[in-house]
Amino acid sequence: MSSDTLLIIGGGPAGLEAARGAADLGCKTILVERLSRLGGTPISANYAALTHGMRDASEVMGEMIAAVDGDPLVDIRLNTSVTACSGAAGDFSVTLTRGGTDETVSVGAVIVATGFEHFDPGRANQQYGYYMYDDVLTLQDAEKMLKEKNFVRPSTGKPPERVCFIQCVGSRDRRIGNEYCSKVCCGVASKQAIEIRQLLPNCRVFIFYIDMRMYGYWENEIYWPAQEKYKVSYIKGVISEIVMKGDRLMIRGEDTTMNRPMEVPMDIVILSNGMEPSGGTKAIATTLGLRQNTYGFINVAHDTLDPVSTSVPGVFVAGAAAGPKDLDDTMGMAGAATMKAVGAIRRMARGAAIKA
């Protein structure tokens, strides 16, 4: 006997878009979120403005939440985790745990949208001193200050005169074990560089990079204006040493285009830390028996032709649970996963009807 209900795990951008799409198609949906509120990482990690359009993250996520909240077809379960699963496509039996109480639900298909977490720069080999120097930040630390429109040196509480970003921290790095590109950090750093220049017109902003990787709107809306309008300095060559000199950070590296060593004093250094699979992604992969890649992200059937089917029939994936994604990837995947999941449920129902 097949179930006509879709289970969506994760209430971030991917899960919300999938739930909205499923409801629009008239499919009953259970949306499970581990935290006490919807919105995912953009909300829990205090994102300021979202690309494209640089709209306020709470506003954008608020609209996405409003699109499903109150919809009779979407059963939202907060503070809830998926702790067990049996059965097969069309008839999964899934245990939902909330505050120590288990409930078993029957669902026809599952979309996993459990996302990523930010790389912990304490694991880097470059000794950027994230846990040692107050003024060495991650993108998320900077984002929080930008959201509050109060961008200052944590050590002094005063606005910085010089800020730099160091790209590829925890990404494209065999020594750390993350050989992949995290895809969004070039764009996010450039976006933040613009925001810093808007807030503090006298602050100089530098971005030290290996390759700048920005496609589509990132190029025209972010990269070019950052350089042309906001005078952000892009320098090819990644910093590998930060030491204190007086009360400022002294960064060391090489400008590879000039073949020259650099030592530049900075007030704030922002580490463009990449993505890793979230704890929830790794846990759900185990619970559902999904194949993962070397890094712990969920494997998909085909990276270009079928980027949403997993190794288990009836289970699909959307967003950064499958690897580093930006928001437009996530929205596209959510749509594709919904189409496949609802399609699978309907097909099963037809099959069941024929048999009956």
Positions that interact with other proteins (CB under 8 A): 125-127, 168, 172-176, 210, 236-241, 243-244, 252-254, 256, 258-259, 261
The distance of closest approach from Cβ of residue 222 to other proteins in the complex, given in angstroms and rounded to an integer, is 22
Q: Which is nearer to other proteins, 180 or 230 (CB)?
A: 180
338, HSE (Cβ side, Cα atoms, 13 Å)? 25
Q: In the bound complex, what is the minimum distance in angstroms from residue 124's beta carbon to other proteins?
A: 9
CB of 158 to other proteins, least distance (A): 24
Structure tokens at 64: 């996405």
Tell me the closest approach of the beta carbon of residue 185 to other proteins, in angstroms: 14
| Of residues 250, 276, 244, the one with CA closest to residue 263 | 250
φ, ψ of residue 198 in degrees (nearest 5): -70, -40
Return the number of the residue (73 or 176) whose C-beta is nearest other proteins: 176
Q: How far is the CB of 351 from other proteins (least distance, A)?
A: 50
Copy the structure tokens of residue 210.
Answer: 């290996």
Using an 8 Å Cβ cutoff, are 207 and 154 in contact?
no
Nearer Cβ to other proteins (244/301): 244
By beta-carbon proximity to other proteins, the closer residue of 84 and 243 is: 243
Which residues contact residue 332 at a Cβ distance below 8 angstroms, ignoring those fewer than 6 apart? none
Q: Closer to other proteins by CB, 158 or 174: give it.
A: 174
Task: Supply the minimum distance, in Å, between the C-beta of residue 258 and other proteins.
Answer: 7
CB of 248 to other proteins, least distance (A): 13
CA dist 134 to 4, 138, 150, Å? 53, 11, 16
Q: Which is nearer to other proteins, 175 or 355 (CB)?
A: 175
Q: Pick the closer one to other proteins by CB: 42 or 253.
A: 253
Q: Which is nearer to other proteins, 177 or 289 (CB)?
A: 177
Report the nearest approach of other proteins to the CB of residue 137 (Å). 20
In this complex, which beta carbon is closest to other proteins, that of residue 67 or of residue 176?
A: 176
- d(CA 51, CA 317) in angstroms, rounded, equals 23
φ, ψ of residue 208 in degrees (nearest 5):
-100, 125
Determine the residue type at 98. Answer: R
- DSSP bridge partners of 93: 86, 106
Instruction: Output the smallest distance, CB 181 to other proteins, in A.
Output: 11
Q: Which of 101, 22, 91, 16 minimizes the C-alpha distance to 342?
A: 22
